Amino acid sequence: MAEPVLAAGGAPRRWWDLTTKKRNIVAFTLLFLITLPMLTKIFTSDFGTHIAIGRQIVETRSVADKEFLNYPSLGRHNPNGEWGFQAILYLVFSVGGSYGVSFLIWAVVFGIFLLIHRATVLRGAHPLLAVLAIFAFSGFLRIRIQPRPEIFTYLFTSLIIYILTEYYYGTRKKMIYAIPPLVLLWANMHPTYLMAFVLCGAFFADALARAAWNREFRWDLLKKWVLPPVLAGLGGLILCGLNPHGYNAILTPLHLISRGGSGGGGSGILMSISELTPVKGTGFFVYYKAAAWFAFVSILLGVIGRRVLLIDLFLFAIAFKGAWDSARAVSMMGMFLAPGAALQLTGFLEWAGGWLVPEKAPTEVRKEPGKGKEKGKEKGKGKSRQIVETAAKAAPKTLWPGGPPFRKAVPAAVLATALAAFGGTTLAFSFSQLEYGLGMTEHKFSFKAAEFLRKNPIQGKMFNFFDIGGFLDWQLYPEALTFIDGRTYNQEVFMEHQVVTGAMSGWEQVLDKYAVTYIVLKSMDSSGMILPIVPVLANAPNWSLVFSDGLFLVFVRSTPELQGYIRMHQIPKGILPRHIITEAYHYLFLGVSPVVAYQTMANMYMLLGDRGGAVEVLRKALAESEDPFLRERLRQLEGSGDRNPFGGKR
C-alpha cells in the first residue's frame, strides 16, 4: 500500500500544500494572466511625436538638439533626453508595426510584475499573496500604459527595487554594481532617474536602522556591506550626466512638480493638461484615495501581525508624496505599495493561523531522526508508522476532514477576496477610461485625413489642435510642419494655441502672425466639450470646410491662391453636427463621460431638427446609466428651438 506523501514537517501533504517549485509555477502563471487585462490600444498623440523623432534619429544616426517639427519653434534649442526610448520605439514599430509596439508595452508590464514579485518574495512575502498585491494595483498602472518614455521609468524603478532587495535581503550581492549603467540608460530614456538615488537612499537608511536595532552599528560590521552601495550610488551620479541635458536634468522632476504647484497663469494650464498638476481635483484622485485606504488597512493588519518594516514605510511615503505632487505618479503607486502590503498581510496571516508557514516537525520525530538501528522490515515499518502516527497526533483538528483548519482558511480567504475585489474594481474603472486591445485605436486619429492632406497638399502653413499634433508629426513630416504637438514646451506658442482654439479675442491675429492658411482640428477636446473655434469657423465666410470624417476637420482660408483648391474639395458646413455626433460616439471609447457625450449628441440632433434622434440617443444613455440631468433633458426636448450655430441647412 502506498504511503502518504509527507510535507516538510512530517504531516501528510495535502492538495493545497504546494512544493516551492509548484508554487513558483503557479505564481508565474498568475502573473502572466494578470498582465492580459493590461493591454490597451494606442491612443496617445505623443506616440506619433516619438515615432517621428525616433525615425529622424535612426535615419540620421544623430540626436537633434533643436526643434524641427513645430514651425513656430523651428531651430529653438531643445535637448532630447528621451532619444533612447524614441529610437527603440521606432525600431520596434518599423519591424512589427503598431501591434509590435503593443507587444513591447505588454513585455515591459510583464517585466515590472516579475521584478516586483521577486523583490517581494525575497523579503519574506508569500508568493501567491505577492501576486494578489500586485494585481490589486494593476488598475493604477493601466491608466498610463501607453508608448511613452515613462514606461521605462516604471521598468527601471522596479529593476532598482529588485537589485537593492537582492543586495540587502538576498544572495546576489554583486548585482548592486549594475546600478551605474542602469542609471546611464535611464538618463537617456526619461528625465526621472532621480528616483534611482531616492530608492538607494531609502534602502541604505533602512539597512542602517536595522543595524542599529540589532546592535550591529559598529564599523567592523558595517564595512562589510556599506561600501558597495555607496560606490554604486557614486558611479550612478557620475554616469547620469552623460545625456543631452547634462547634470541639470537630475532635478527635472522637482522643477516640474514645483512648476505645476505654482498656481495660475499659462503655466498652470499647461501643467493641468500634461497631468503634472497635484492629484487633488483630477480624475486620478479617486485612485489616490483608494490607495490611501488600502495602505491604512494594510499597515493596521501588519501591526497586528508584527510585520511593519521601515523600508515599507519609506516606500509608502515615496508613493503618496510623489502622487500628491504629480497626478501622473498615481500609476506608479503600486510598485511602492504592493511589496509592503504583501509582507504585512503575510505577517497578519501568520499571526492569524499560520496558513502560510510550514508547520514544524513534531518533537518526537525531530528527536529521533535516526533512532532504531534494527535491521530489515522492522526498521522501515517502524519508522514509517512512527512518523505517520506522530503527524496525526500533531495535526490540528479541522471542521472538515482533509480540509484546512477553519481558523486558517477564513482569514486567508477573506484577504484573498479583498485583494482580488480591490484589484478588479480599479481595473474595471480603468477599462472605462482606456480601450482594451492591441494596435492603434480607431476612435481618435484619422488616417483618412492624413492621406487626404498628403494627396492634396495645401499651400501655406497649418494650425492644428495640440492633441493631434503628434499624429500629424508622424504622418506629414517633412512635407508639412505642425504648429504644436503634445510636448507643449514653448509656453508662448501654447498660449497662442489656447487663444485660437478658445476663439478668444485676437485669434485671427494669431493666425495672421504665422500666415496660417489651413486648420486641422478635432471638434472636441479630451473632456468631450466642443472647441469654441469650431462654430466660429463654421459661420466664418472666409473659411471653407474641405474635410470631415467624424474624427478630424480641415478648414481652408479663402485666399485668392486657394480658390481653386476650395472649389475642388469644399463640402457643406451643415454636415458639422453629424460630424460632432460621430466624434462624440468615438469619445465614449476614450474615457469621456457618457453624460457629456450623449448630451452633445442630443444637442446636435436637435440642431439638425431631428427630435427623434435626440430622444433615441438620450434613451440609450439612460439605459446605460440613470442620470438626473439626462432624464430632465429628455423631458425638455420639445421646448428646443435653437438656431443651428454651425451654419448650413438643418
Q: Measured between alpha carbons, how far is 564 from 525 in angstroms, rounded to an integer?
A: 32
Domain ranges of the chain: 107-355+404-436, 447-639
Whether residue 106 has pLDDT greater than 90:
yes
Backbone conformation region of residue 297, classed left if phi is above 0, alpha if psi is from -120 to 50, else beta: alpha
What's the sign of the alpha-carbon dihedral 83, 87, 92, 97? positive
Query: pLDDT at position 539, please?
Result: 92
- For residue 510, what pLDDT band results from cuts at 50, 70 and 90? very high
Whether residue 560 has pLDDT greater than 50:
yes
Query: pLDDT at position 252, please?
Result: 65
Whether residue 467 has pLDDT greater than 80:
yes
Backbone conformation region of residue 506, classed left if phi is above 0, alpha if psi is from -120 to 50, else beta: left
Query: pLDDT at position 635, please?
Result: 78
Say which residues have a Cβ less than 8 Å from residue 220's Cβ, sequence separation at least 6: none
Reported as a single tens digit per residue, the pLDDT across 455-465 is 999 999 999 99
Q: Which fold has domain 447-639?
A: Rossmann fold (3.40.50)
Reported as a single tens digit per residue, the pLDDT across 408-431 is 677 888 888 999 999 999 888 888
- For residue 353, what pLDDT band results from cuts at 50, 70 and 90? confident
3-class state of residue 309 by DSSP: coil
Reported as a single tens digit per residue, the pLDDT across 226-254 is 999 999 999 999 999 899 888 877 766 65
Q: Measured between alpha carbons, how far is 509 from 490 in angstroms, rounded to an integer?
A: 19
User: Phi first, then psi: what are they for 592, rounded to 5°?
Assistant: -70, 145
3-class state of residue 435 by DSSP: coil
Q: Measured between alpha carbons, how far is 473 from 355 in angstroms, rounded to an integer?
A: 57
- Measured in whole angstroms, how far is the alpha carbon of residue 401 from the centre of its chain? 46
Cα angle value 88/90/93 (rounded, 5°): 110
Is the preceding omega at residue 478 within 30 degrees of 0, hence cis?
Answer: yes
Average pLDDT over residues 479-491: 90
Name the residue with cell 505564481: 27
- For residue 351, what pLDDT band results from cuts at 50, 70 and 90? confident
User: Phi first, then psi: what are they for 129, rounded to 5°?
Assistant: -65, -35
Say which residues have a Cβ less than 8 Å from residue 462's Cβ, sequence separation at least 6: 472, 480, 481, 482, 483, 516, 517, 518, 519, 520
For 563, what's the count of Cα atoms within 13 Å in the CB-facing half-sphere? 3
Pick from 179, 192, 169, 186: which is nearest to 230 by CA? 179
Q: Measured between alpha carbons, how far is 269 from 44 in angstroms, rounded to an integer?
A: 19
Q: Output the pTM of the full model.
A: 0.83
